[in-house]
Amino acid sequence: MRPAESSGAVQWRLVVPAVLGALALLATLGQGAALVITDVLIMVLFASSLNLLTSYGGMVSFGHAAYFGLGAYGLALPLAKLGLPLWAGLALGPLAAALGALAIGALCVRLTHIYFAMLTLACSEIVFTILFQAYDYTGGDTGITKFMAPRLGLDPRLYGALVLAIVSACLLLLWKVVRSPIGLAIRAVGEEPHRAAALGYSPRMVQLVAFVIAGTLAGVAGTLFAVYQGNAFPDYAGIGFTIDALVMVVIGGLHSFAGGVYGAVIYTLLKTFVSRYVTEWELVIGLILLAVVLVSPAGVAGGLGRLGHALGRRSA
Amino acid sequence: MSETPLLVARNIHKTYGRFVALAGVDMALARGERRALIGPNGAGKTTLVSVIGGQQPGGAGGTVLFDGRDISGATPQAIARLGIGRTFQISRTFRKLTVLENMLAALLGNGGGAFALSARRLRELRAPALAMLREVGLAEFAREPAEAISHGDRKRLEFGMVLATRPRLLLLDEPTAGMGLAERSALMEMMVRHIAERDITLLFVEHDIDIVFRFADVITVMARGKVFAEGTPAEIAADRAVQDIYLGARH
Amino acid sequence: MVAVQIVNGLMEGMMLFLIASGLTLIFGITRIVNFAHGSLYMLGAFLTYQLVSHFAPGSLGGFAASVLLAALAVAALGTLFEILVLRRIYGADDLMQLIITVALVLVLRDVVQMAWGRNDVVVQMPDALAGALRIGGSYFPVFQLAIFGAGLAVLAVMVAVIRYTRAGILLRAATDDRGMVALLGINQARIFTAVFAVGSFLAGLAGGLASPFGNINYLLDTTVIVTAFIVVVIGGLGNLYGALAAALAVGVLKGLGVLYYPRLSMVLIFLIMAGVLVVRSLGRQTVGK
């Protein structure tokens, strides 16, 4: 397995065609397809933010949706209840997620392995339950709706292009993080915290930084999603969304930057199209997941990497 | 150079439940000294090294002074930043990172800048990292993931990483364990050469008696959580009691 | 009123223990966190619903037989999953082990929907267990008392097995030191399979026993697994007696919470779960991974 993309440079060779391709699809496929593509893009960001924790930081979070949900409610609540302007909501969404991740992360990084997973689960369930139970403020399970026009009232294709721009910028930022000193520290601590500490790193501090970055980006995804739907529901912070993101990361490929991207694309498209024809799309996902874990633990990214390697060798 | 010892351990004790791992250990390391820690399995050697390095969860009883400063109960990272480096019995490297990235991580942890977001710091550290890899004979593997190199090379890598943090005291826990006879000697010679060049004080745990007698200035023999004997290699070799409990069992 | 709620809470607590016992048992020995435990519970409930229709409506014997058969079927499925899938990833990293049980969650959720649809189904309460018993001026549903009894019986059997049988000794050895078991030449794979079978059986049993208690639907899996995690974590992962104490405490807390702070009771329970985890970590102070 060769997890480390050895060069720090952005692989524009891959990025530019991907972004242009997405733009072309948005422009040509019509409004319905634009909605699906936007959904995919938001999930790409959400899964990639979790990927920073799992693939690089060695932290398996079972509560990542909390920050997605905080991103959504950070936008919806001030708009619906305080009548704040839209731009304030757009800023407050990710900010709420960042603060939530800071508070929860400070607790969670004290724990390791399964205990870490359980504590992130407990904390996200606290967020979910508060959103669900405090119906005087959050509307409970009826959520917050009608506080803004879905997609800012834009044509779905235009909103898709906007989301594409924001998600691309966030992924570039994430790439920079991964390839920077703090990224190296996150990977080092994720792999061997004792070795890292004996080299002078403060493992918990490094993990907390990773946790907050991941939470903030999940918050951006949540805010984009709330704008996309024009609503916010407690489920956005629930265990269902967390599991979705984990499944995306594993299918896409652990220990790979692209894992979150591949996983989100495959998962969301399957969910959209398979569920159109058969109701049993979760069964299909479950079987794919089984196959990935048993046959190609490095996921789709790992499989593609091996394929590319083999092809490269043949042509060389 | 001052006359005070670099490291002083006073009355160190540590228990795990009912098991007494260290029952009051006193030890002092002079500056520049090369000290070997020997003794049968379960004597408490690794535990003592971990107490000094701060790796004992829950801490231990007693006092550790490093250069006159009380470091008992400090975190491993604080101790590392003060200038105590260590390797582990089973060498610990970042296995999924490349050899070069391992070395970069070591330089970053020590030199600070670990929280920087700019990749420039990494580019600046590339040359020193490659230089250190050359020193420990690993330059050709720079792009390999650490999990792909041999056991012996990983030991070299871990040693080089610790060296890169510019320690004043180095703790090596069984530096030659799991290696062939010829390899052991070469590895130890390489390590000691670097240690001597940099005036580093050394404390090493070792089972290979030939290595111990060849490279140590002073030997501390531990048994059942206590210091059983201490002296120059010649004194230890002549000590009948030591031969009975330790050397006798081996030869 | 308070006393009634406490008793009700204890009875619900025993139900929680039934759910959690299998999960904590499996974790204690295999170190696998079985996310599919709630799904196995759900399957047990649906299978009971299916089987009970073959007996006279409301017959106690029919209900008991259905629950037992359902639990056995769930145990068989769990065993198969352990042998075919889990066995290949012991020793893999945490995430892989968690995620493979998540795969089972997804598969079972759809299987259940294919077989029984998306609507709620209801299992009829056995006539003999319907009604309420008057104790000290208050009425308690007979069915809940029966569940309480069943929980005690399961506990007694588990304690007896762990204390007094050769299998129990092996189990304890496997929990304390898996290396030692290997040294003794005991087939660890067989222990793991057996434990997974028993754990799955308990999940199915809990689902079956609770089936007349409320509506059964395909969304039961996540609610149940989250509840089970709460109990198992508060009780100490892998600790059977801890799970019992935690289950009863959570049950009572829920009962009282409904009385005083209906909205905050769940938040409070998750706070306790988080608090327990954090406090335990203080004792285990290690370098964070």
Which sign, positive or negative, has the C-alpha torsion B110, B112, B116, B122?
Answer: negative
Q: What is the mean pLDDT of residues C195-208?
A: 95
Please name the residues between 248 and 267 in chain A that touch chain C, using a CB distance below 8 Å. Answer: 250, 254
Using an 8 Å CB-CB cutoff, list chain C residues near A293.
89, 96, 99-100, 103
Please name the residues between 228 and 287 in chain C that touch chain B, using a CB distance below 8 Å. Answer: 284-287
Quick check: is C244 in a domain? Answer: yes
DSSP class per residue in B98-159: BHHHHHHHHHHHHHS-TT---THHHHHHHHHHHHHHHHTT-GGGTTSBGGGS-HHHHHHHHH
In this complex, which of A119, A130, A247 lies closest to C102 when CB atoms are compared?
A247
| pLDDT at position A297 | 79
Domain with C174 in it: what CATH number? 1.10.3470
Using an 8 Å CB-CB cutoff, list chain B residues near C281.
none
Q: Going by C-beta distance under 8 Å and a sequence separation of 6 or more, which residues neighbour residue C195? A: C25, C26, C29, C30, C171
Q: Which of C105, C125, C103 is nearest to C219 (CA)?
A: C105
Q: Which residues pair with B61 in a beta bridge?
A: B13
Yes or no: say if A223 and A75 are a contact pair by the CB < 8 Å rule.
yes
pLDDT band at C98 (very low <50, low <70, confident <90, very high): confident
Per residue in A275-302, pLDDT (tens digit) is 887 777 889 899 999 998 888 878 888 8
Q: Percentage of chain C with pLDDT > 90?
A: 48
Q: Indicate yes or no: CB of A180 within 8 angstroms of CB of B55.
A: no
| pLDDT at position A5 | 44
What total number of domains does chain C contain? 1
Question: Largest Cα–Cα distance in chain A?
Answer: 66
Query: What is the rounded distance in angstroms from the CA atom of residue A265 to the CA atom of residue A272?
Result: 11
Q: Indicate yes or no: CB of C287 within 8 angstroms of CB of B55.
A: yes
Q: Indicate yes or no: CB of A111 within 8 angstroms of CB of C278.
A: yes
Q: Indicate yes or no: CB of A111 within 8 angstroms of CB of C106.
A: no
Q: Which residue has the higher pLDDT, A102 or C281?
A: A102
Partners of chain C (3+ Cβ pairs below 8 A): A, B
Q: Order the strands of the B201-205 sheet from edge to edge.
A: B84-87, B169-173, B201-205, B34-38, B218-223, B226-231
Using an 8 Å CB-CB cutoff, list chain B residues near C285.
57-58
Q: Does A176 touch chain C (CB under 8 A)?
A: no
Using an 8 Å CB-CB cutoff, list chain C residues near B57.
284-286
By C-alpha distance, the chain B residue nearest A58 is B96
How many CB atoms are located within 10 Å of the residue B149 CB?
18
- Encoded tokens for C181: 């078991």
* Mean pLDDT rounded to a whole number for chain A: 90
In this complex, which of A4, A180, A188 lies closest to B116 when CB atoms are compared?
A180
Q: Indicate yes or no: CB of B88 within 8 angstroms of CB of A191.
A: no
Q: Which of A106, A133, A124, A95 is nearest to A220 (CA)?
A: A95
Phi and psi at residue C32, in whole multiples of 5°? -95, 130
Quick check: is C288 in a domain? Answer: no
Query: What is the rounded distance in angstroms from the CA atom of residue C173 to the CA atom of residue C242?
Result: 19
Query: What is the rounded distance in angstroms from the CA atom of residue B158 to the CA atom of residue C248?
Result: 50
Using an 8 Å CB-CB cutoff, list chain B residues near C287.
55, 76
Q: Going by C-beta distance under 8 Å and a sequence separation of 6 or more, which residues neighbour residue C53? A: none
Yes or no: say if A160 and A38 are a contact pair by the CB < 8 Å rule.
yes
Query: What is the rounded distance in angstroms from the CA atom of residue C200 to the CA atom of residue C194?
Result: 10
Query: What is the rounded distance in angstroms from the CA atom of residue C215 to the CA atom of residue C221?
Result: 13
Per residue in A224-254, pLDDT (tens digit) is 999 999 999 999 999 999 999 999 999 998 8
Yes or no: say if B144 and B129 are a contact pair by the CB < 8 Å rule.
no
DSSP class per residue in A234-294: GGGGSHHHHHHHHHHHHHH-TT-TTHHHHHHHHHHHHHHHHHHH-S-HHHHHHHHHHHHHH
Rg (CA), chain C: 19
Phi and psi at residue B200, in whole multiples of 5°? -90, 140
Yes or no: say if B76 and C287 are a contact pair by the CB < 8 Å rule.
yes
Q: Has residue C137 got a pLDDT over 90? A: no
Query: What is the rounded distance in angstroms from the CA atom of residue A211 to the CA atom of residue A213?
Result: 6
Q: Which of A228, A193, A231 is nearest to A210 (CA)?
A: A193
| pLDDT at position A300 | 82
pLDDT band at B251 (very low <50, low <70, confident <90, very high): very low
Please name the residues between 64 and 123 in chain C that touch chain B, using a CB distance below 8 Å. Answer: none
- Note down the domain range covering C99: 2-283
Q: Indicate yes or no: CB of A4 within 8 angstroms of CB of B97.
A: yes
Using an 8 Å CB-CB cutoff, list chain B residues near A200.
77, 80-81, 109-110, 165
Q: Which residue has the higher pLDDT, B170 or C257?
A: B170
Using an 8 Å CB-CB cutoff, list chain C residues near B76.
287
Query: What is the rounded distance in angstroms from the CA atom of residue A161 to the CA atom of residue A159?
Result: 5
Per residue in A104-128, pLDDT (tens digit) is 999 999 998 889 999 999 999 999 9
pLDDT band at C289 (very low <50, low <70, confident <90, very high): very low
Looking at chain B, the number of H-run helices and the number of E-run strands are: 10, 10
Partners of chain B (3+ Cβ pairs below 8 A): A, C
By C-alpha distance, the chain A residue nearest C84 is A294
Lowest mean pLDDT among A153-162, B74-83, B88-97, C131-140: C131-140
Measured CB to CB, residues of chain B less than 8 Å from chain C are 55, 57-58, 76
Residue B204 DSSP SS3: strand
The dihedral over CA atoms of A170, A20, A11, A68, expressed in degrees to the nearest 10, equals 20
Question: Pairing state of beta strands B226-231 and C132-135?
Answer: unpaired
Partners of chain A (3+ Cβ pairs below 8 A): B, C
| Alpha helix (H) residue ranges in chain C | 2-30, 37-52, 60-84, 94-116, 142-164, 166-176, 178-183, 188-210, 220-235, 240-260, 265-283
By C-alpha distance, the chain B residue nearest A188 is B94
How many CB atoms are located within 10 Å of the residue B58 CB?
11
Q: Which residue has the higher pLDDT, B140 or B247?
A: B140
Q: Percentage of chain C with pLDDT > 70?
A: 91
Q: Give B23's Cβ-side CA count (13 Å radius).
A: 12
Q: What is the mean pLDDT of residues C265-278?
A: 90
Q: Has residue C221 got a pLDDT over 50? A: yes
> Measured in whole angstroms, how far is the alpha carbon of residue B46 from the centre of its chain?
10
Question: Domain B1-83+167-251 is of which CATH architecture?
Answer: 3-Layer(aba) Sandwich (3.40)
Query: What is the rounded distance in angstroms from the CA atom of residue B14 to the CA atom of residue B61?
Result: 6
Quick check: is C289 in a domain? Answer: no
Cα-based angle C91, C105, A279 (whole degrees, multiple of 5): 140
Q: Has residue B119 got a pLDDT over 90? A: no
| pLDDT at position B220 | 96
ipTM for the predicted complex comes to 0.92
Q: Does A285 touch chain C (CB under 8 A)?
A: yes
Q: How far is B93 from chain A (nearest CA, A)?
A: 7
The full set of domain ranges for chain B reads 1-83+167-251, 92-165
DSSP class per residue in A132-201: HH-HHHH-GGG-EESSS-GGGG--HHHHHHHHHHHHHHHHHHHHHHHTSHHHHHHHHHHH-HHHHHHTT-
